Every structure is written in structure tokens, then in C-alpha cells.
Structure 1
């Protein structure tokens, strides 16, 4: 007998539940955004073209670039990084290929001109309900990326961040009741602990006595089970917070700031970032410094490539 509590196939709750299961591929802090990026890319195509169909000839470039930009640093080629989700998303029951090809193998994808797409059931449900599509996109991006990066990801896959966030509020996420809740006191606690200034550059802007342009940044992302603990936070200006979450900036175990060697700039404003390389974090006495386990997580899963050589 069928479980009366299970959502009906193709219903809003069913679609959102199926997509939410992609979160299970991230265990023990491991980042694996490849499949979510492919799904988000297919949602972008569905929004702009009316179909989620994605030929491998396009996916190997576009998806490969997305994984390189928004995924963890990897020695795997961009084409191989794209082949992994393009072939393996089939096992999640939400993606199909028009040719039967082996997992992870690039050659047959090219020679057989393979095209992938969301299953007909899911594509139809999403195409018929733009608010459901927006809710699915928001749930995916919020589960795999911090707020500093989410709008960039949505834009990169062809979705408008403002439209997605407004429309998504209309369709409740069935998993919302079981999601972790942020500590409402954490942000103020971190900013206060770092004397209301950026731990990297010292920016301490105020407007009418209120701190402005300073964020409380998680070292290990909250979306990836990072705790709201004092030793998992840094007060950072908005620019350096984003660059920290994009892997341009990092902190080693000796609490020295690192700039990634893949970063480059031409103007004096952009090149000023190089001056941060090697600077040591300094906080007022009693402030909890970032814990080694969180710094190691950031270095492995966020920081891009190698630090600058000085």
C-alpha cells in the first residue's frame, strides 16, 4: 500500500523534495556543487527557451566554466568536471540523456552528440508553475552557496536573482521546518568582537554612528554546516567578504591572509588587494580567532589554487 504521507509524483512538494536530495551528496563538509549547478543551468534554459534540453557540445563549455568558477579548486579538466554531473545526475531520477553512455566518460558524449534534460515529469511541473521553478532554484542555491555568492550563481545560469527571490517566497519549501536556524545574535557578536572593522583591511565605516559595510563572515559556510560559533567568524568589509567566499582570499593556520595566485588586476584599486598578502590577523584581546579546523575547510573547499609567491 502506498504511503499516504508521500507527496504525489510531479507535485510541488515532490519536485522540491527530489531536488533537495542533491544536498545529500555533501557529507562531512565536502563541497559537491556539480549536480546543483547543472540543475540550475537547466532551470535557466527552461526559463529562457521553454526547454531544459542541454546538448553536451554546450554543456562541456558552460557547465565546465560554472564548476571552475563556483566549485572547489580541482586538478580535473573543465570538460571532465562537466561530464561527471552530466552523466551521473541520471542516478538521482531527475535527469535523462537521449543516448545511453557510460558514467564520467567524455568520448561517447561527444561522438554520439548526446543531449540531456530534466525528466519530462519535472520539466512539465516547472514549466507550468514559474513560482515553483523559482522556489526550486532558490532552494538549490541557498543549500550550496552563501548569500554573497548566490546572486552571482543565479545570474551565471541565466536566472534573475531578484525575480527568483521574490517569486520563491510564494511557494513554501517543505523542508523549511527542518532546516538549521541561524543564531540571530551571531552577526552582532562577531562584528563587535572584531571592533567593528574589517579583519583584513581595517575598514570601519559608520553612518550616523551605525556600522556600515561590515559583515559577519563564516569561515566554514553556514550552508555547509558551519556553526554560528565565535571561532568560525570574521568581521569583513563587504568586498573582502565576497572575495573570501569566492576563494580569492584565505587565511592560513598562522592567521596570515593569503591572496590566490589566480587573482589578477590592472588598476591600482584592484592591485591593492596584493598588499593584503601575508598580513597577520589582529584582533582585540579576548576575541576568538578562527579555529584551525574551519581554516582547513576553507583552504580545501573554497580557496582557489595556490597563494601568491612573494
Structure 2
């Protein structure tokens, strides 16, 4: 496939119109596209019957989308019907947007024929599109989990071509965040070093970079690898007083796992001069990432 044709395919997926309401994160369409790409890679066809979407897509949205009171089937019906507006998705029956009952009559969705032909003609393009989608909508700590959940190798990489990411991350931001927080986890205090360098301590965005989170000092925390992962998966969060919260949805049986519970209520204690996370970024994380309700105090 020519470079121009490849760029056209990438552009079609990167320009998916996201439902926006009060700034809410909405990864529903990308998750459906990833599910169809996975089926295309496995079977040679992108067909997603509603019976599969109602179960699998709804699970993906519940796991990787923001907390919602919308029923699971209804959450899946939104992207399943509305992805048609992006000109990459078709249904084999004429049904109205958002309606669950008509979908249960045996409706199947798939990529538009010309697009599917382009993807099947170049299998590496399927991997490129999948990696581009997760990188565009999820932070690195979550992207691998999404790929695994839809059926791709979590270590999937771009085969020889860069991802067309519009924004570039600041190379200096990570070092500035680690330095501001004394190269130790803001939640548990872990400060391991190897040959004099901090190890397993990472710079975490509070508002995700993929969701227009800035590379600013008030949008970052130094977190150990474990707590960075749990923060980005919504197990851990922050309240208005910058105390750590633990989601009621998290459970653990061993003493190591249950140590996470002990973080609940622990206040951040930045060194003098360090900017704590801004109120608006903390509020965004609470609305868009944190799972459910926090443990009782």
C-alpha cells in the first residue's frame, strides 16, 4: 500500500468524533474499533455481531471508560450505532442510533468495505492502527492492558512507522517532576535507587496527556511503578484535600495487596516549594478515571 493510502487509513481512525458532555472522556468508539481490528487480525473479517458487542464491548467500556450510571448494553449501543457517522463503520440492517432492542434482532457491524480491503491488504497496518488508537486515547500504563483485553499482544509496536501524535511530550517534564517530589513516590514514599539513579519511580500525569493534560508541574506526581499503574487505572485517586483515596471496587487478599488499603486517607506531603496537583486536574481525574466510590473514611 502506498504511503498516501496508509496515511488516509490512519487519518480515518485518528479523527473519530468523540462524544463530549461536560468534558467527559469517551473512549467508546476507539474501543469498538480496536475490537473490530482484533477480530480482523484473527479471522480476516472485522464483523462484530451485536451479541458479541453487547457482552465484550460493554465489558471494555466498563473497565477502561469513566464511571457511568448508564446500563452496559446501552453504553455499547452508542458507539455500535454512532460509529457509522465517521464513515468507517456499517451495519447490515437499518437501525436507529442508540436503540438496544433492534440490535438484538441479529445486527452485525463491520468496517466499511473499502477500508476493510485496505487493512486486509496490509496486515502490518492493522497493528499500526491499533497501536495508534491506544496511544491516542490511553496513557502508557493502561495502553497495554487495553490491547490485551481486545485480543492483541500488549507489547504491540508500530511496525516501522511513527505514530501520528499531534502533541509532543516535554522531554524535561519527567525530570522536573521527579526532582520536585524528591525522586520518591508521593503516595508511599518508595525511593529506590540503582547506581545512584531513581528506579521504579515515574512521573505521572494527573490529567492524562492524551486528554489534553499539560506537561506542567501542577499536573504531575512522582509515583512508584505500582501506584502509577493503580492511579491510571482508577484504583487510587485524590480528594479535595489532596488525600489519597482507594476505590471500593478494589479488593485484595494477601498482606501485600491489602497494603493498598493503608494508603486511603494519607495526605500528600510535598516538600516546600513543590506545586501540588491543581484542583482542576484532581477533579478531572476523579470524574474521568477514578473507579466508583472511595472507601469509607
TM-score bin (small chain):
over 0.9
Residue segments in structure 2 that go unaligned for 5+ positions in a row: none
Partner of 1:143 in structure 2?
136
The match for 1:129 among 94, 104, 122 is: 122
Equivalent residue for 1:200? 187
* Secondary structure, counterpart of 2:110 in structure 1: strand
What is the match of residue 88 of structure 2?
Answer: 94
Q: Secondary structure at the match of 2:141?
A: coil
1:39–1:303 Cα change, 3 Å: same
SS at structure 1 position matched to 2:260: helix
Unaligned runs of 5+ in 1: 1-6
| Correspondent of 1:214 among 201, 224, 242 | 201
Corresponding residue number in structure 2 for 1:14: 8
Shift of 1:161: 2.7
Query: 1:3 — aligned with what?
Result: none
| Equivalent of residue 76 in structure 1, options 48, 52, 70 | 70
Distance 1:122 1:267 in 2: 48
How many Å separate the matches in 1 of 2:19 and 2:277? 26
Q: Secondary structure at the match of 1:234?
A: strand
Matched, 1:281 2:268: yes
Note the C-alpha offset of 1:248: 0.6
> For residues 19 and 27 of structure 1, do their structure 2 counterparts lie closer, same or farther at Cα, with a shift above 3 Å needed?
farther
User: Structure 1 length as normaliser, TM-score?
Assistant: 0.92
1:171 aligns with 2:165: no
Contact 1:143–1:223 (CA under 8 A) maintained in structure 2? yes
Alpha-carbon distance, 1:27 to partner:
8.3
Q: Deviations over 1:61-107 (max 9, x none)?
A: 10000000000000011111111111111111111111111111110
Which residue of structure 2 lines up, in the alignment, with residue 116 of structure 1? 109
SS of the aligned residue for 1:149 comes to helix
| Structure 1 segments (4+ residues) deviating >4 Å | 23-29
> Aligned pair in 2 of structure 1 residues 232, 27: CA closer, same or farther (>3 Å)?
farther
Task: Tell me the secondary structure at the aligned position of residue 258 of structure 1.
Answer: strand
Task: Give deviations 1:246-270, integer Å, cap 9, x for gaps.
Answer: 0110011211000011111111111
> What is aligned with 1:4?
none
3-state SS of 1:235 partner: strand
TM score, norm. by length of structure 2:
0.96
Question: Matched residues in 2 for 1:143 and 1:48: separation?
Answer: 23
- Matched-pair contact (CA < 8 Å) for 1:23–1:143: no
The one-character-per-residue Cα deviations of 1:27-50 (angstroms, maximum 9, x if unpaired) are 885311000000000000111111
Q: Partners of 2:262 and 2:255 in 1: how far apart?
A: 11
Kindly state the Cα deviation for residue 171 of structure 1 after the two structures are TM-superposed: 3.4
